[in-house]
Amino acid sequence: MKKKNYIKNSAWRKLEKYGVDTSIIRLNLERTPHERVVEHQKILKFYSTLKAAGKKYYAGLGKNIKDFD
Amino acid sequence: MLDLERILKILIKCKVEFIIIGGFASIIHGASYVTKDLDICVNFSTENADRILKAITPYHPQHRMHPKGPPLDETPESLSKYKNIYLHTDLGEVDMQGEITGLGKFEDLINRTIEVELYGKKCKVLDIDALITTKKALGRPKDMQVILQLEAIKQAIDEQNNQ
């Protein structure tokens, strides 16, 4: 699937107008379903790392982190 | 963090009848989305409830929506009476639904699935049309963006198939 097909497509225009970065979706479509899931799990792991760092930071400041999730 | 690989392999090993729905189904179809729970539609028959319990009991399932998070303490017969169940387990959060808004029960959905290979195992996933239908039927503002993504993906797939 070439990029120009996405651009002329009305659904893709609608998505871009909504403010979505369609490049990630285009990249996903080049991947297999398994690769998409593996990429998602990498992002989730990164998210967990960021969350843990944030918790540690706020704990150091003595802030209430009860609702950090 | 959700250990998707282990959850899927355990469900398949225990022969649980399930269909991947929700956020992970959107991701599998190509949407850019992040979710920390696995949503599945299950057959809440007594036989399948027995398989579900055998699969998840070793991972200390707890009722996630209950303020005190009590452990899941059910028999296959009592579990089969559930419509939906939201669990926290050692492997992450797993939501099981017996009925999907706008589509029906597990047996109504079985012909509206695709089969994909994940971690070397074949899994049933709600097809893109059914996924759009249920997300529209739910009418939740948070689903708006993913609906637009799925519609764009569907159009791209249709265009490719017509070439």
- The pLDDT, as a whole number, for residue A62 is 80
Q: What percent of chain B has pLDDT over 70?
A: 100
pTM of the model: 0.91
Retrieve residue B107's tokens: 């047996």
The number of residues making up chain B comes to 163
The number of residues making up chain A comes to 69
Q: Which contiguous run of DSSP H or E holds residue B108?
A: helix B106-109
Tell me the residue type at B139.
Answer: G
CB B26 within 8 A of CB B141: no
Residues of A near B (Cβ–Cβ under 8 Å) read 1, 5-6, 9-12, 14-15, 18, 20-22, 24-25, 28-29, 31, 33-34, 36-37, 40-41, 43-45, 47-48
- Quote the mean pLDDT of chain B: 96
ipTM (interface pTM) = 0.91
| Closest chain A C-alpha to B2 CA, distance in angstroms | 8
Please report which confidence band the pLDDT of residue B47 belongs to, taking 50, 70 and 90 as the band edges.
Answer: very high
Q: Which residues pair with B95 in a beta bridge?
A: B39, B86
